[in-house]
């Protein structure tokens, strides 16, 4: 696959020309989907708007992020396909989530309430598909974004010259994890709502169960009483410490959607933007109020150490001042 910067630098005319050539010059469906994904994430999406009816006709639903730039009319077509109960329901709902227009919100709400026949085959409620695209449906039926539009990339310090704008990363703490006795780690600290919020966790235990911390009035992180120990933990697992300030801020330009897919060739460690879910979307519920937590940033261990695996996801409940950290890997 061509580097993402190639797509980032395409003019509208060039991106439209590429779209026009897709089904003529490329016969492999997977290759077509790859190019459509890059166009959806690394351009403004204008080049895709005329091709959505063709994608629906050809049943291009396996990569739902492609529909991020579709409008309510395209959403209506997808809704009709869902209601016809003709198959692909799971992928169609994810495509609708990425469109996220008002008719999608209304459809998710009504379907969740009425539970039509097609919805009974799902593992989650229709409205929960919104999480796949970085938003949630509130109790009053309105949409709430779970991600930040402000994005700052993090790079390994070996790749960049440190600057005065760096944030502290991977700072060992005095306290030990109550579950495994590893040193807790303050992975990064950033300003949120006029306060500096420290995202502290046990890097070992959060690989297996979410780890929550309470921020007290002095800004200190306190172990949350509702944390649960991984049932298979036997004390034999351990993790090598990570050097202080291994990751530093980069001035690389990024849009929020650049890191949506794990299949695009771009580094994934950043503050803000969309998470790169390796598995299903896993926005945490605040252990105090039960609301979905805001996604704050993520660390890709490939950016931290050679042969590193998996991503840590950092989340925050502004109302309760609770941080949460979870992890996914292939």
How confident is residue 294, by pLDDT bands cut at 50, 70 and 90? very high
pLDDT at site 87: 85
200-213 confidence digits (pLDDT tens): 999 999 999 999 99
How confident is residue 275, by pLDDT bands cut at 50, 70 and 90? very high
pLDDT at site 143: 96
Say which residues have a Cβ less than 8 Å from residue 36's Cβ, sequence separation at least 6.
22, 48, 55, 60, 63, 66
Distance CA 295, CA 145 (A): 9
Residue spans per domain, the chain: 4-145, 148-328
CB atoms under 10 Å from CB of 116, counted, come to: 12
Contact 39, 11 (CB under 8 A): no
Mean pLDDT for 16-41 is 94
Average pLDDT, the chain: 95
The pTM score is: 0.95
Does residue 303 have a pLDDT over 90?
yes
pLDDT at site 232: 87
Distances (CA, A) of 257 to 50, 96, 133, 248: 21, 16, 10, 21
Q: What 3-state class would DSSP assign to 26?
A: coil
pLDDT at site 278: 97
Q: What is the DSSP secondary-structure string of 199-238?
A: EEE-TTGGGTS-EEEEE-TTS-EEE-TT----TT--S---
Say which residues have a Cβ less than 8 Å from residue 239's Cβ, sequence separation at least 6.
182, 203, 204
Say which residues have a Cβ less than 8 Å from residue 218's Cβ, sequence separation at least 6.
none
Does residue 1 have a pLDDT over 60?
no
Q: In sequence order, what are the beta bridge partners of 295?
A: 315
226-236 confidence digits (pLDDT tens): 999 999 888 78
CA-based torsion, 168, 169, 173, 177: positive or negative: positive
Q: What 3-state class would DSSP assign to 24?
A: helix
Does residue 124 have a pLDDT over 90?
yes
Q: Which of 162, 171, 227 is nearest to 198 (CA)?
A: 171
Distance CA 202, CA 104 (A): 38
Contact 215, 322 (CB under 8 A): yes
Distances (CA, A) of 245 to 1, 242, 253, 268, 271: 32, 9, 21, 17, 15
């Amino acid at each position: 696959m061509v580097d993402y910067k190639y797509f980032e630098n395409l003019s509208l005319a060039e991106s439209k020309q590429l779209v026009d050539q897709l089904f003529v010059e490329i016969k492999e469906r997977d290759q077509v989907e790859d190019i459509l994904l890059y166009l959806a994430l690394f351009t403004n999406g204008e080049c895709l708007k005329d091709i959505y009816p063709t994608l629906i006709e050809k049943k291009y639903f396996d990569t739902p992020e492609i529909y991020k730039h579709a409008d309510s009319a395209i959403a209506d077509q997808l809704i009709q396909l869902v209601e016809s109960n003709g198959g692909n329901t799971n992928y169609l709902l994810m495509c609708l989530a990425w469109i996220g227009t008002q008719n999608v919100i209304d459809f998710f709400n009504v379907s969740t309430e009425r539970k039509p026949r097609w919805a009974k085959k799902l593992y989650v409620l229709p409205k929960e598909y919104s999480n796949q695209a970085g938003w949630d449906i509130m109790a009053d039926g309105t949409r709430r974004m779970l991600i930040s539009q402000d994005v700052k990339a993090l790079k390994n310090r070996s790749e960049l010259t440190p600057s005065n704008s760096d944030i502290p990363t991977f700072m060992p703490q005095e306290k030990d994890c109550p579950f495994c006795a590893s040193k807790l780690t303050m992975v990064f600290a950033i300003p949120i709502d006029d306060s500096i919020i420290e995202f502290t966790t046990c890097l070992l235990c959060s690989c297996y169960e979410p780890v929550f911390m309470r921020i007290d009035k002095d800004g200190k992180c306190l172990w949350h009483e509702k944390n649960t120990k991984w049932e298979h933990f036997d004390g034999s697992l351990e993790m090598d410490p990570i050097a202080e300030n291994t990751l530093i801020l980069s001035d690389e330009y990024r849009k929020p959607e650049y890191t949506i897919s794990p299949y695009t060739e771009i580094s994934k460690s950043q503050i803000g933007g969309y998470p790169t879910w390796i598995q299903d979307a896993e926005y945490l519920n605040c252990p105090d109020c039960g609301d979905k937590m805001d996604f704050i940033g993520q660390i890709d261990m490939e950016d931290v150490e050679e042969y590193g695996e998996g991503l840590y996801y950092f989340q925050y409940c502004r109302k309760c001042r609770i941080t949460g950290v979870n992890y996914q890997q292939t």
